[in-house]
A and B are shown apart, each in its own frame.
Chain A
Amino acid sequence: MLWWQNIPFFSIILFLLSAAVCSVLPPRGARAWARAVLGLCLAGGALLLAILGQPGSASFTFMMGHFPAPWGNEIRAGALEALLACLFPGVMLCALLSGAPALSSGRQASREPQYLSLCMLLMAALLSQAYSNDLFTCYVFLEIMTLSAGALIVFQNSGRALAAGMRYMVLNLVGSGLFLLGVVLLYDLTGHLLMENLFVSLQALAATGEYHRSLTIIIALITVGLSIKSALFPFHSWAPDAYSSSVPSSNAILSSLVSKGYILLLLKVYARVFGWDLVLLSQVDHLLLVFAWAGMIFGSLAAIRTSRFTRMIAWSSVAQIGYIFLGVGLGAGGGYQAAVFHLLVHSCSKALLFLSGEELRRSAGGSDSFADLAGAARKHPVYGALWTVGAFSLVGLPFTGGLISKLLLGGEALRHSPPVAIITLAVLALSTLLNVLYFLRTMLILWSPDQGSSRRGSLSPLGLGACGLLAAGILVSFFLAQPLLEVISLGLSQFS
């Protein structure tokens, strides 16, 4: 075994250890530790990407403990996992750097180590979703992710955050229960939990034509369970409150990372456990497409209706999750590729909107109302410009990664039957129009001539750098779209 093949396992273990270490360190020490670990794992992910992202490279499996497959547990890494191992710590680091002032001030300052400890747990769970080859391990880390994300929502301890946290927990536990039932039924049918073994058994089972109804139920259970957890329309009712009730770093982490972990798991289960043909046979893809279309429209309409700035960004997440699920619903090959690409772009864009938006809110005295935010971008032109880049990306304007996602989704839709292609293109057009409406309105308000006091907040260089990095990620995903798509394509081909 080559030395770099230890990186995935040690990244997860390091985050788990850091969760314990951060909770006992003083705030400053915990902050430095968390940043160092995130930086180290980001470097590890970049190294993996440099090795596994080479054309023609193969994925590898890492045996856990002393029992080989099919009895033991396994980790697996390929080009796509390496890419996500760069994205997850990168976005988390940016969220923590930019959100640090809000964490280290006020009532919650003394609890910052506990907050960082939760973030480390969340990272361990996210990386496990990316690397794990075993469905039951995925379930365990799914619950760790649910618990740590729930704790991040209620961290502020306000009544609104507590209520949002409880609603989040209740609906997410429903999702976890459905997912677990699906996994247990799969184990019952095949006797396996490792993805490769499951795939082989399920293909053999599908070939016999038996258990068709059971397989459909299992695919539906897992799909609905993970859709609830990733806030796909119509299971989104918990999301707007959960994404807008907590400290800014939590909002950014929840909307740009946690939901992506669940979507990634669904994609892995489709690609590596069932295979797309089996999903097509179950017709669950139709369900996904309908939910995605509806989510893209209703999420945007709700974003237009709201009069609160942070809530508008939160509602826009519901629409954007619809875009990612549209890619998944369009299927293996181009659809998955578009879904993963939009997952990357949306992670950077949404984190940027929440983090730079918080700086704009602070310059408006902390108000969340559009009326008070008039001229906020003029007080902080740099943050205003960064927020604008994030908004442009979600609208899908040129020079941002959002345009590439929409082109990929549109292009893939054309390869489907005429009704699917026509509805997808119409929904894409309408949703883009609605995106333009609410982001344009917000931008006009933010950049309107300043009517209030010309109070300028202090600029934190670290926070600014973090937001700058996220904006750079959005621009890079446009200019380097081709190599990025090749890596995603290579990673997806390694799935089968």
Chain B
Amino acid sequence: MNLQILLENRVEAAAIILFGIGLTTLLLNRNLIKKIIGFSFMDSAIFLFLASEGYISGHTAPIQDAAGSLPAASFINPIPAGLVLTGIVVSVSVTAVMLSLTVRLYQRFHTLNLDEIVQLAREANEEEEEAND
């Protein structure tokens, strides 16, 4: 019974597993590039979930023909598709900002390890303050 439910909802289950992989990578991996990949995984998993919710088997993309003769009931739900498109725009913007920040951090600290970066930044700050004193 449980297996059948899992099989029926396999896309949703896959999306949640992918979300988990993305979330743990974003949180726990020290490498900045891998963190960004984890973030992309996380967002893509949600888009997969949304897209699968909006899809209705046997129905077509919600594009009306020139005569406007196709019935609304023949289309898939267009709202999740709209949400996914908006989400992709947000996700791409965030990825761009994160990558640009990573480039700046690498130029300054010559490492991609966030723990090392935080440590180096703290040491640099202490040195600067001692110099001021």
Contacts and interface: CB of A to CB of B under 8 A. Distances in A.
A406 B126 CA distance: 37
Contacts of B108: 159, 162
A136 B85 CA distance: 12
B21 interface: no
Interface string B68-87: 00000000000010010011
A259 B114 CA distance: 24
B57 interface: no
B56 to A, nearest CB: 13
Contacts of A367: 129, 132-133
A163 B87 contact: no
A165 B80 CA distance: 32
Among A159, A164, A369: residue with most chain B CB under 10 A: A159
A177 B101 contact: no
B4 to A, nearest CB: 19
A147 interface: yes
Interface string A184-200: 10011000000000000
B86 A170 contact: no
Contacts of B122: 160
Among A140, A164, A365: residue with most chain B CB under 10 A: A140
Given A147-B93, A367-B133, A177 B86 contact: no
A181 B19 contact: yes
A187 B46 CA distance: 12
A159 B98 contact: no
Given A154-B101, A166-B101, A159 B121 contact: yes
A199 to B, nearest CB: 19
Interface string B38-81: 01001100100110010000000000000000000000000010
B10 interface: no
B7 interface: no
A432 to B, nearest CB: 31
A151 interface: yes
Contact of A173 (B80, B86, B94): B94
- Bin the interface of chain A by size: 35 or more
A159 B26 contact: no
Contacts of B102: 166
Contact of B26 (A150, A165, A174, A184): A174
Contacts of A486: none
A180 B90 CA distance: 12
B101 A169 contact: yes
A136 B86 contact: yes
A160 B39 contact: no
Nearest to B126: A160
Interface string A441-483: 0000000000000000000000000000000000000000000
A184 B86 CA distance: 13
Contacts of A177: 19, 22-23, 26, 39, 42-43, 46
A167 B114 contact: yes
A163 B105 contact: yes
Contacts of A160: 121-122, 124-125
A469 to B, nearest CB: 32
A180 B46 CA distance: 8
A170 B114 contact: yes
Given A169-B97, A177-B46, A184-B46, A163 B117 contact: yes
A369 B132 CA distance: 11
A234 to B, nearest CB: 14
Contacts of A139: 90
Nearest to B116: A163
B5 interface: no
A159 B109 contact: yes
A188 B101 contact: no
Nearest to B90: A143
Nearest to A141: B90
A166 B97 contact: no
Interface of A: 136, 139-140, 143, 146-147, 150-151, 154, 157, 159-160, 162-167, 169-170, 173-174, 177-178, 180-181, 184, 187-188, 365-369, 372
Q: Which 3 A-B pairs have the closest CB atoms?
A: A163-B121, A159-B121, A177-B42
